[in-house]
Structure 1
Amino acid sequence: MRRLNYDKVVERLVDFIRDVGKSGVVVGISGGVDSATVAYLATKALGRERVLGLIMPYFENKDVEDAKLVAESLGIGYKVINIRPIVDSFRENLNLELDRKALGNIMARTRMIILYAHANSLGRIVLGTSNRSEFLTGYFTKWGDGASDYAPLINLYKTEVWEIAKRIGVPERIVKKKPSAGLWEGQTDEDELGISYALLDEILWRLVDLGMEKEKIAKELNIPMSKVEHVEKLVKGSEHKRRLPLGPKFDDLIVRP
């Protein structure tokens, strides 16, 4: 895996947020390490008065307490908004059979709407919490948790976010907890991805950043080729999530005078 000068990385992140967030930021705080890291960096960059945390649970569980811990340890303003009535209203009025994935997407998009409603009303921006591991594998909801004005962690792998979190004082219990999007009870990121973040990041770095051949990656990491192919499939299958909608071009149909 690549080696970073983490002290300089933290400085760059803080400078970036200070530059783009002059009017203040709104951050969705889930109780996980990514959102906690963004909240800590934003507070360091802007001061607690210009950071608003929104805690938006569907399930009332330990994640809510962890999210409160983040906000209260930083001294930032925060709101707890239970999204269950909103999501359940969608479910009741759509008159559709929704599986867990479809319902989870509605949850993520509901949170996005709430984040932007607060940002718009306050004249602030939405600071996203996606990391590079999620971005490259498409492990996010399009127009949901993948939507933000700026995403400070978007070029940092999950394992790198953990290192940063340790250095800037994110509570240990949050750094060490199993990553989860909180879309259903017992859900974990690594179960859904079908691979640990530690191995995922090693493969992604070689596959995407270095452009290594799959055979060489498998040999270097001493893993089955199927693991590399699984990650490649995640990357290729989620390409549409990483770009704006496309349509046909018409330059060749312009009628010349």
Structure 2
Amino acid sequence: MEWKNIKEQLIVFLKDEVKKAGLERVTVGLSGGLDSAIVAILSKEAFGANMSCVLMPSHYSSEGSISHALEVCKKFDIDHEIVEIAPMVEAYEKFMDGDKLRIGNFSARMRMSVLYDVSARDKSLVVGTSNKSEILLGYGTIYGDVACAINPIGEMYKSDEYEFGKFLGVPESILEKRPSADLWEGQSDEDELGYSYKQMDEILKKLVDEKVSADDLKSNGVDKELIDMINYRMKANAFKGKLPTIAKIKWS
């Protein structure tokens, strides 16, 4: 991969899109994970002091979610603030019957509410941090972590991000940890999905980029359950990547 060229393309993209919006600043939610670290580093290079990060831990967050995020801020001299979302989540948590998924999704939406409020305060754009693997699989919370104004890494597969992260100088503590949306203590993306991102990305690249049919992959001995899971998730979650469908009315 020509990571230097890709980095330059993404920085140009960020600058152009923010300029089109008539703004100068961006806001990034920094979780302590690889995706948001990459976006924060790119945004810092693109906008310098005109970017800032918001760290939004809850009472379910892992210890590394803050410490690793702060490590990125320190290394790249990024302005940041910490907004605890625990009081927001706790205020509604009694209505969620201890359902981890509902609590996790609600937490993601509270974080995005905070980010958009900060962006209104700072007259900035919210920069998204969802990668291509997550978008295709629908592994994200609609109006939560998938919400944003612009997204520089939405065409980059998760498994490819590790090399890009190394190129950008993402701290080893982040590169070495298991991918997690940090929705609850001990939560892991790959445990939930049942496969590693490397395994899933190999199939996604065949299905989406190379237009190989699922039947052809199966006939070549590729794990049938993996293919079926990916196909199901892409179809079932496609609505997350679309604007709301509006009814067409015939007025005459």
Task: State the TM-score, normalized to the length of structure 2.
Answer: 0.93
The number of residues matched between the two structures is 246
Matched, 1:201 2:201: yes
Which whole-Å CA distance do the structure 2 matches of 1:128 and 1:247 have between them? Answer: 25
RMSD: 1.5
Which whole-Å CA distance do the structure 2 matches of 1:119 and 1:254 have between them? Answer: 39
Partner in structure 1 of residue 247 of structure 2: 248
Partner in structure 1 of residue 27 of structure 2: 26
Partner in structure 2 of residue 44 of structure 1: 45
Matched, 1:78 2:80: yes
- Flag structure 2 segments of 5+ consecutive residues without an equivalent: none
Partner in structure 1 of residue 226 of structure 2: 227
Could you tell me how far 1:96 is from its partner in structure 2? 4.7
Q: How does 1:135-214 map to 2 (within 5 A)?
A: 135-214=135-214
Which whole-Å CA distance do the structure 2 matches of 1:6 and 1:231 have between them? Answer: 28
Q: Deviations over 1:175-230 (max 9, x none)?
A: 1210101111110011111211001111111112222111322455x432221111
- Flag structure 1 segments of 5+ consecutive residues without an equivalent: none
Residues 40 and 86 (structure 1 numbering): CA distance in 2 closer, same or farther, change over 3 Å? Answer: same
Which whole-Å CA distance do the structure 2 matches of 1:117 and 1:96 have between them? Answer: 25
Q: Which runs of 4+ in 1 moved over 6 A?
A: none
Partner in structure 2 of residue 14 of structure 1: 11
Q: How does 1:102-141 map to 2 (within 5 A)?
A: 102-141=102-141
Which stretch shifts more, 4-13 or 175-184? Answer: 4-13
Which whole-Å CA distance do the structure 2 matches of 1:154 and 1:233 have between them? Answer: 20
Between Structure 1 and Structure 2, whose CA radius of gyration is higher? 1
Partner in structure 2 of residue 57 of structure 1: 57
Instruction: For 1:204, give the aligned amino acid.
Output: L
Which whole-Å CA distance do the structure 2 matches of 1:26 and 1:247 have between them? Answer: 30
Which whole-Å CA distance do the structure 2 matches of 1:14 and 1:136 have between them? Answer: 23
Could you tell me how far 1:89 is from its partner in structure 2? 0.7
Instruction: For 1:206, give the aligned amino acid.
Output: K
Which whole-Å CA distance do the structure 1 matches of 2:14 and 2:213 have between them? Answer: 36
Instruction: For 1:234, give the aligned amino acid.
Output: R
